[in-house]
């Protein structure tokens, strides 16, 4: 039996009924367009969060984590509603609330998705708990419903107005493929992403500059796209072509125009990237990744000095493409590198960070991995 089961048993005095897991993600391209009903192309990474859960008959929800196993957070299920107590536990409470659970639960989580690195540790936590509860309580929710329920938890319980990308890929990711997700209807297509066959590696560079997405920057970007859409009489940026946007420039204030220019161009870049991947043209994929970074840096203004240095140095070290990923304001960048250039790129980035007085960066790599799963423990024992 797994170690999380034993730890759960030590903590709660009985074994869990279900064990589940869900991954973090990197996004190849399609940044800040999920809430504009765009296309995105993320993949699930190997790093994941595990959850062990059982029902409890006393009407209490108890939550602990491997990292803080000396303390158990406890709340009555009737008090699990937006505005409740809790810090990181709110990601879990939000899922319990959005799934409409009315009984007590014991929950232990453990994970290795780095927090604050822009790799969606919060979605991994939400989705691990959601798929676990779906299996344990036989809720019968499909992948799209689980993605929407976990997004609702983050929007309405945690208070972060995120889009649907992170939760969707954490639930629906497939090993070996990036997930082309249409954020309008959550339809998907698996796009094989076999960099190693092409002698390449996707390096993930955690700048260790920590963003706080609950702060205003993310919400402001989203609001700018929504007000641009309202002024132009469309439902979302997805309905606009670049020609239409340029023709209507006078109707928008300058900041709305440049935010919209990012969204419209990024949606087109995702589809071009899919075409290039299908042709195995990684040079073109690299160019599109670079264009995405420039657009996020200059039009969307969500980059930061650490991310820009990581990208610039990766490109000087021979990367085919490099860009910031996730919400921005810190977190991680990716670089598509020839395998033989990876070590030199890591060294050059580390040296440059030191010279700039930045924190020491961390490096990861991950192939596209499987999405979330859950098993009742009677089957595991």
Question: Does the footprint of ligand GLA cover residue 37 (CB under 6 A)?
Answer: no
Q: Which two tokens stand for residue 75?
A: 């709340």
What is the distance between the alpha carbons of residues 200 and 108, in angstroms, rounded to a whole number? 38
Single residue of 16, 38, 86, 163 touching ligand GLA by CB under 6 A: 163
Nearest distance in Å: CB 147, ligand GLA: 11
Closest CA to 253 of 235, 234, 217, 227: 227
Nearest distance in Å: CB 325, ligand GLA: 8
**Part in contact with ligand GLA (CB under 6 A); list of ranges 26-34, 52-60, 109-117, 338-346:** 26-34
Single residue of 7, 17, 31, 266 touching ligand GLA by CB under 6 A: 31
Determine contact, residues 20/120, Cβ cutoff 8 Å.
no
Nearest distance in Å: CB 171, ligand GLA: 14
When the beta carbons of 209 and 345 are compared against ligand GLA, the nearer one is 209
When the beta carbons of 150 and 352 are compared against ligand GLA, the nearer one is 150
Pairing assessment for the beta strands 18-27 and 373-376 based on DSSP bridges: antiparallel
Question: Does the footprint of ligand GLA cover residue 166 (CB under 6 A)?
Answer: yes
Q: 């609001």: which residue's tokens?
A: 223
What region, left, alpha or beta, does residue 241 occupy, with left being phi > 0 and alpha being psi -120 to 50 degrees? beta
* List of residues 6+ apart from 215 with CB closer than 8 A: none
Q: 């921005």: which residue's tokens?
A: 328
Q: Which two tokens stand for residue 245?
A: 């946007």
What is the distance between the alpha carbons of residues 251 and 323, in angstroms, rounded to a whole number? 31
- Active site includes 275? no
When the beta carbons of 39 and 97 are compared against ligand GLA, the nearer one is 39
Single residue of 108, 162, 225, 345 touching ligand GLA by CB under 6 A: 162
Which of 166, 206, 299, 341 is an active site residue?
166
Nearest distance in Å: CB 114, ligand GLA: 14
Nearest distance in Å: CB 88, ligand GLA: 16
* List of residues 6+ apart from 328 with CB closer than 8 A: 31, 32, 118, 211, 217, 296, 300, 302, 303, 304, 307
Q: Which residues bind ligand GLA (CB under 6 A)?
A: 31-32, 34-35, 120, 162-163, 165-166, 326-327
Which residues are known to be catalytic?
166
């Amino acid at each position: 039996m797994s170690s999380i089961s034993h730890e759960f048993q030590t903590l709660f005095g009985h074994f869990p009924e279900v064990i589940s897991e869900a991954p973090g993600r990197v996004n190849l391209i399609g940044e800040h367009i999920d809430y504009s009903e765009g296309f995105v192309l993320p993949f699930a990474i190997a790093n994941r969060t595990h959850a062990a859960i059982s029902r409890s008959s006393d009407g209490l929800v108890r939550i602990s984590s491997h990292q803080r196993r000396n303390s158990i957070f406890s709340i009555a299920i009737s008090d699990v509603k937006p505005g409740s107590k809790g810090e990181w536990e709110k990601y879990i409470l939000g899922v319990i609330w959005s799934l409409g659970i009315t009984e007590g639960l014991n929950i232990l989580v453990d994970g290795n998705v780095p927090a604050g690195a822009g790799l969606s540790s919060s979605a991994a936590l939400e989705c691990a708990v959601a798929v676990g509860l779906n299996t344990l309580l036989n809720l019968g929710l499909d992948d799209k419903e689980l993605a929407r329920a976990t997004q609702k938890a983050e929007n309405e319980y945690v208070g972060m107005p995120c889009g649907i990308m992170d939760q969707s890929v954490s639930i629906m990711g497939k090993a070996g493929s990036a997930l082309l997700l249409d954020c309008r209807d959550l339809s998907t297509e698996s796009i094989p992403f076999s960099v190693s066959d092409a002698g390449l590696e996707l390096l993930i560079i955690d700048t260790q500059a920590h963003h706080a997405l609950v702060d205003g920057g993310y919400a402001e970007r989203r609001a700018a796209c929504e007000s641009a859409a309202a002024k132009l009489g469309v439902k979302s940026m997805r309905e606009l072509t670049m020609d239409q946007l340029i023709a209507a420039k006078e109707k928008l204030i300058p900041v709305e125009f440049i935010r919209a220019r990012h969204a419209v161009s990024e949606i087109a870049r995702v589809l071009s990237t899919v075409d290039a991947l299908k042709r195995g043209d990684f040079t073109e994929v690299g160019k599109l990744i670079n264009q995405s970074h420039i657009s996020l840096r200059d039009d969307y203004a969500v980059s930061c000095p650490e991310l820009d240095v990581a990208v610039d140095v990766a490109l000087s070290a021979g990367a085919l493409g490099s860009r910031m990923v996730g919400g921005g304001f810190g977190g991680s960048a990716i670089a598509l590198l020839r395998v033989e250039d990876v070590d030199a790129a890591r060294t050059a980035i580390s040296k440059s960070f030191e010279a700039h007085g930045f924190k020491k960066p961390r490096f990861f790599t991950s192939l596209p991995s499987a999405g979330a799963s859950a098993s009742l423990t009677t089957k595991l024992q």
